[in-house]
Amino acid sequence: MSSGMGEIATNEDINMGENDWGMISKNPPMYESGVDNAVIEVTDIENKIHKITFKKGGVLNLGREGNTLYLAWDDSDTV
């Protein structure tokens, strides 16, 4: 089974459990889930709300271009 990559672009803030995530890299910004079922909530640039649930150890990559924040992850890290 091959895994894909997920990606969302947003101009909004990301809602993530403060105690569920830890920064593992500052450049580029990367966060790792410290718990199972860690949820992020983000509104994409088309105003659609996404809730993504990660497994413990799942990694969320962040990038910025202008005012747009890009989130990317490996689908195998999600529930």
**Domain limits for position 29:** 5-77
- Assign 13 a pLDDT band (cuts: 50, 70, 90): confident
**What pTM value is reported for the model?**
0.89
Backbone angles phi, psi at 22, to 5 degrees: -130, 140
Looking at the structure of the chain, the number of domains it has is: 1
- Over residues 2-29, the mean pLDDT reads 91
- Over residues 66-79, the mean pLDDT reads 96
Cα–Cα nearest to 20, from 67, 48, 73, 57: 57
Distance CA 40, CA 78 (A): 11
Q: How far is CA 75 from each of CA 26, 52, 54, 61, rounded to the nearest angstrom?
A: 22, 10, 9, 12
Number of H helices, E strands in the chain: 0, 8
Cα–Cα nearest to 76, from 49, 57, 48: 57
- Assign 2 a pLDDT band (cuts: 50, 70, 90): low
